[in-house]
Amino acid sequence: MSMMKEATSKSWRMLTMNTLAFTVAFAAWLSNGVLITFLISNGVLNWTPVQMGTVIGIPVLTGALFRLPMGILTDKFGGRPIFTINLLIAALGMLLMSRAETYSDFIIASLLFGTVGATFAVGIAFTSVWFPKEKQGLALGIFGAGNAGAALTSLFAPTILMSLVAGGDMEAWRKLPIIYASMLAGMAVIFFFTTENRKPASSTRSLGQMLRPLKDLHVWRLGMYYFIVFGLFVAFSQWLVPYFVNVYALPLVTAGIFASAFSFPSGVIRALGGYLSDKFGGTRVTMWVFVSAIIISAMLMVPKMVIESPGKGILAKLPGTVTAVTENSVVVTNPKAGPRTYKFVPKQGNIDKDTKEFLLFPIKEVIQEPVVKVGDKVTKKQLLVKGTTRIFFQANVWIFGILAIIVGALWGIGKASVYKLVAHDYPQEVGVVGGIVGVLGGLGGFISPVIFGWLLELTGLWSSAWMFVLAVTLFAFSLLIKSMKEPEVCE
């Protein structure tokens, strides 16, 4: 890393261009989610759910896998040429997407433009060399705010598609990838002519020396942290749309707005995460993020549900014969003690699972009904009236949405704090270490929706996705606590 003592105006200009380029790149990287969904829902493509999921996920996968080699190349040659080339390769992929006809065409185009996801590793390494250590958290956080490009695609791409096909020509969808290709190519030219190249001090080392940190267990711990804060962010950016549609029966456009509300703050607030990491340390901020996410995911994993359970019944206190049964009482006559009346309330409370009323807490409905009839002989402590209790938890959509947005924002802070740890613990290998950490985070974005689908199939609960979040965050938190006991990585 450069031995510069302070950030200069040139440093901030480099950061501005890095962030702008990454915003464009991230918007293009996740564009398949909108485009493929649009083409299938409008009958342009007749694909199975597996085919759809594969094409949507391929850019996420390739973007993740290319982060390590791109990080290595950035450490070796500097960020200016690598970032430029990466943007141009993605622009070519988008041009191929605009001409895609077969399923294989879509696969190849997605593989090619998906490499733009690796610009994150390039930008992290290129940003870090322009700032002193005490400013790197803020700088990397500002750069990472480019994640907001996902929200921009979710908000504007559907509207652009609808306007393109408004005249009835469904083939006009092909203009959208061309728009993205133009943005990527234009950004590549602007980036190349407005930035200055700089390489870290480690650029003269051999490939083996550069890869040596990958033997360190701490690198893989950082990757696990990033699996949580970035991988799950990417996964839910796509998963929340069908979640809102299926669980809350929201229109697709409304579900998209909720998903954008989740994505946008997570990207923008990353700068705050960088500032907090500079002030309090990356380890401490990451710990706060994990603890908060554990609490909120435990709340979100409780599904919208109606639970029915045996409730309070009424037992006979003496043996006898049932002589009367009314809507709210049972009379049992004992030969010696005479008649005894047992009163009950047929129904208390009223559950309407389709209610539009705002319900914060669960509500209860108690039903009591006689299980005997006139003439029955009963014994002492025999059940006369059966009780049934039903509990309804609405999992209100607004509460769910707000909590999900808070989790997304927390992950945004965590994305900055994890990379603060990368820059702090491996100052000479930010590209390599940042690359492998980015790979694991990107793989989380690809693998997590698959796990969500499997859990949904297994349990029948959409909220099982949050059960997964709780489990993996607890695991990552345990790794973090363990690392805090190791002096060489403590802050």
pLDDT of residue 489: 46
Confidence band of 277 (pLDDT split at 50, 70, 90)? confident
83-91 mean pLDDT: 96
Range with lowest mean pLDDT among 54-63, 204-213, 362-371:
204-213
pLDDT of residue 96: 96
pLDDT of residue 13: 92
pLDDT over 50 at 209, yes or no? yes
Domains 9-303+397-489 and 305-393 share a fold: no
> CA dist 171 to 53, 81, 287, 470, Å?
22, 35, 49, 43
Range with lowest mean pLDDT among 4-18, 245-259, 477-491:
477-491
> What does DSSP assign to residue 228?
I
pLDDT of residue 414: 92
Q: In this structure, how many other beta carbons lie within 10 angstroms of the beta carbon of residue 152? A: 18
Confidence band of 211 (pLDDT split at 50, 70, 90)? low
- C-alpha triplet 283, 463, 478: angle, nearest 5°: 25
Range with lowest mean pLDDT among 97-111, 270-284, 363-377:
270-284
pLDDT over 90 at 23, yes or no? yes
49-70 mean pLDDT: 82
Q: What percent of the chain shows pLDDT beyond 90?
A: 36
pLDDT of residue 205: 59
Confidence band of 206 (pLDDT split at 50, 70, 90)? low
pLDDT of residue 208: 62
The CA-to-CA distance between both ends of the chain, in Å, stands at: 19
Q: What is the 3-state secondary structure (H, E, C) of 3-14?
A: CCCCCCHHHHHH
170-174 mean pLDDT: 93
Find out whether 115 and 89 touch, Cβ atoms under 8 Å.
yes
pLDDT over 50 at 256, yes or no? yes
What pTM value is reported for the model? 0.71
User: Residue written as tokens 């009346």?
Assistant: 341
What contacts 18, CB < 8 A, 6 or more positions away? Answer: 79, 83, 123, 126, 127, 143, 195
Distance of alpha carbon 248 from alpha carbon 397, whole angstroms? 7
* Domain ranges within the chain, ordered by starting residue: 9-303+397-489, 305-393
Confidence band of 331 (pLDDT split at 50, 70, 90)? very high
At 231, list the tokens.
């991988």
pLDDT of residue 490: 41
What contacts 102, CB < 8 A, 6 or more positions away? Answer: none
Confidence band of 274 (pLDDT split at 50, 70, 90)? confident
Going 147 to 152 to 153 to 154, the CA torsion angle's sign is positive
Q: What is the DSSP string of 369-401?
A: EE---TT-EE-TT-EEEEEEEEEEE---HHHHH
> What does DSSP assign to residue 116?
G
At 489, list the tokens.
């990585």
Most confident of 180-184, 353-357, 398-402, 432-436: 180-184
71-96 mean pLDDT: 93
What contacts 45, CB < 8 A, 6 or more positions away? Answer: 36, 39
pLDDT over 50 at 1, yes or no? no
> CA dist 431 to 16, 53, 120, Å?
19, 30, 10
Confidence band of 213 (pLDDT split at 50, 70, 90)? low
pLDDT of residue 52: 75
Is the pLDDT higher at 188 or at 60?
188
Is the pLDDT higher at 52 or at 461?
461
Each residue of 148-159: pLDDT tens digit?
A: 787 788 778 888
**9-303+397-489, which class in CATH?**
mainly alpha
pLDDT over 80 at 242, yes or no? no
Query: Residue 451 — left, alpha, or beta (φ > 0 → left; ψ -120 to 50 → alpha)?
Result: alpha
In terms of Cα–Cα distance, which of 263, 303, 286, 238 is closest to 460? 303
pLDDT over 90 at 431, yes or no? no
Confidence band of 207 (pLDDT split at 50, 70, 90)? low
Confidence band of 298 (pLDDT split at 50, 70, 90)? very high
Over the chain, what is the mean pLDDT?
Answer: 85
184-203 mean pLDDT: 87
38-59 mean pLDDT: 81
Distance of alpha carbon 1 from alpha carbon 74, whole angstroms? 12
Please give the backbone phi and psi of residue 8, each rounded to the nearest 5 degrees, phi first. -110, 175
What contacts 407, CB < 8 A, 6 or more positions away? Answer: 293, 296, 297, 300, 469
| Beta-bridge partner residues of 314 | 385
pLDDT of residue 135: 79
pLDDT over 70 at 300, yes or no? yes
Range with lowest mean pLDDT among 132-141, 329-338, 473-482:
132-141
pLDDT over 80 at 3, yes or no? no
Write the CATH number of the domain with boundaries 305-393. Answer: 2.40.50.100
Distance of alpha carbon 250 from alpha carbon 258, whole angstroms? 10
Maximum pairwise Cα distance, the chain? 105
pLDDT of residue 2: 42
Range with lowest mean pLDDT among 50-54, 188-192, 321-325:
50-54
